[in-house]
Amino acid sequence: MSSLPNVNWSYPTSVRFGVGRIKELPAAVQAAGMSNPLLVTDPGLAGLPMVADAVASLKAAGLGVEVFSNVKPNPIDANIEAGVAAYKMGKHDGVIAFGGGSGLDAGKLIAFMSGQTRPIWDFEDIGDWWTRADPAGIAPIVAVPTTAGTGSEVGRAGVVTNSATHTKKVIFHPKMLPAIVICDPELTAGMPKMITVGTGMDALAHCLEAYSSPFYHPMSQGIALEGMRLVFENLPKVAANGSDLEARGHLMSAAAMGAVAFQKGLGAIHSLSHPVGALYDTHHGMTNAVFMPYVLQFNKPAIEAKFERLAGFLGFQGGYQGVLDAILKLREDLGVPHTLAGLNVDGEKRDLIAEMAIVDPTAGGNPVELTKDGALEIFDKALAGTV
Ligand SMILES: [Fe+2]
């Protein structure tokens, strides 16, 4: 049993946190103003009892509901178009975004696009393009995360792949922030160990890169600190015992905190991980975990002083080196590959990867300017295993 409390938070949105709180889904859906939601999830989850149970509870409460699960692991434009068509066909009045990163992002994007007239690419996260959207055409969203990593349940953006150009685009609008989130750690308990590890390392990467980025955002800075502590303390516990709901709950918190923290910026871990993921279809969080120590070493001159404080907070001896050693040990204990070879990535596309990394939207948040030579240096070290 877990000794986690059931709590309600109002930051950054309305969050109902605690074991078993999925049973409040019908109430949350009604509170968000829906009577006939479209539940968006991925095909894997759609066949699991947790989705069947959610649908049954909604129907028992007198709500209309349909499930849309034509969503790829990395959602593409056609998935969003099909979802919007299903939304209109079923005359739905809101979306339940249910799942890991793909279900959450697809659900948010379907809700966003349900009442827009312009193409989705007009709303890419560039400058003030989001103001092109008609806010009245954005359907309400209730989010139910089933992994602890992406943090998309408390984010205002969704990622979709342009199937013509094979590039991932971030679509942003403040109203894409879900109105209500249900964080029930029990929903993450069935995750395979390596997905748990990968998603947990993604949350750590979000906090670590936000903390390292040079921009002024003390709120995010503070959130990143506690998020890192929660991952260091709880990811090993969950890896050892997948049914430790208390530790799983802390990881869910850390995931949400990572997404709040990275409003401050991400960095070269994500800049390199994105092209490697796009070209080799590797797991996002696991790819971040591989790159993590090599990027820290690259950034060392800019982050050393900041990491003295981080080491103190986390209780590690030795300042910057202490944090680096702890990350190396955490990776090893969790079975994260030390080199890119462990992800079946070779050096053949190193040039292309470096070119894609430096134009990735996250590159601007890296504390040391990410040049092509720099990206090649990090990539080659991650290939050779030279920290
Ligand atoms: Fe990430």
User: What are the tokens at 271?
Assistant: 């800049």
- Domain boundary residue, one of 160, 188, 216: 188
In this structure, the answer to whether residues 326 and 201 fall within a common structural domain is: yes
- Domain boundary residue, one of 188, 210, 236: 188
Helix (H) or strand (E) holding 95: strand 95-99
Residue 7 located in a structural domain = no
Handedness of CA 62, 140, 195, 334 (dihedral sign): negative
Using a CB cutoff of 5 Å, list residues around ligand 1, an ion. 202
In this structure, the answer to whether residues 205 and 183 fall within a common structural domain is: no
In angstroms, the Cα distances linking 306 to 66, 211, 268, 289, 300 are 49, 9, 17, 21, 10
Residue 2 located in a structural domain = no
* Number of domains into which the chain is organized: 2
Statement: residue 140 has pLDDT above 80: yes
Q: What is the pLDDT of residues 338-375, one digit of tens each?
A: 999 999 999 999 999 999 999 998 999 999 999 999 99
In this structure, the answer to whether residues 124 and 246 fall within a common structural domain is: no
Q: What is the pLDDT of residues 280-331, one digit of tens each?
A: 989 999 999 999 999 999 999 999 999 999 999 999 999 999 999 999 999 9
Domain that holds residue 326: 193-384
In this structure, the answer to whether residues 199 and 164 fall within a common structural domain is: no
DSSP state string for 106-122: HHHHHHHHTT--S-GGG
CATH number at residue 366: 1.20.1090.10
Contact assessment for residue 120 and residue 83, using Cβ atoms and an 8 Å cutoff: no
In this structure, the answer to whether residues 28 and 164 fall within a common structural domain is: yes
In this structure, the answer to whether residues 145 and 218 fall within a common structural domain is: no
CA of 26 from ligand 1 middle (Å) equals 30
Statement: residue 1 has pLDDT above 60: no
Kindly compute the dihedral angle of the four CA atoms of residues 268, 362, 368, 380, in this order, to the nearest 10 degrees.
30
Q: Average pLDDT, whole number, for the chain?
A: 96
CA of 262 from ligand 1 middle (Å) equals 9
- Domain boundary residue, one of 164, 188, 212: 188
In this structure, the answer to whether residues 97 and 110 fall within a common structural domain is: yes
Residue 89 located in a structural domain = yes
Q: What is the pLDDT of residue 168?
A: 82
CA of 158 from ligand 1 middle (Å) equals 12
Statement: residue 269 has pLDDT above 80: yes
Residue 8 located in a structural domain = no
In this structure, the answer to whether residues 179 and 298 fall within a common structural domain is: no
- Other beta carbons less than 10 A from residue 115's beta carbon: 16
Please report, as a single letter, which amino acid is at residue 228: M
The predicted model gives 68-97 an average pLDDT of 96
In this structure, the answer to whether residues 148 and 221 fall within a common structural domain is: no
In this structure, the answer to whether residues 287 and 171 fall within a common structural domain is: no
CA of 23 from ligand 1 middle (Å) equals 29
Statement: residue 42 has pLDDT above 80: yes
Q: What is the pLDDT of residues 100-125, one digit of tens each?
A: 999 999 999 999 999 999 999 999 99
Task: Specify the DSSP class assigned to residue 381.
Answer: H
In this structure, the answer to whether residues 156 and 170 fall within a common structural domain is: yes
CATH number at residue 112: 3.40.50.1970
CA of 159 from ligand 1 middle (Å) equals 11
In this structure, the answer to whether residues 198 and 320 fall within a common structural domain is: yes
CA of 206 from ligand 1 middle (Å) equals 6
Statement: residue 337 has pLDDT above 80: yes
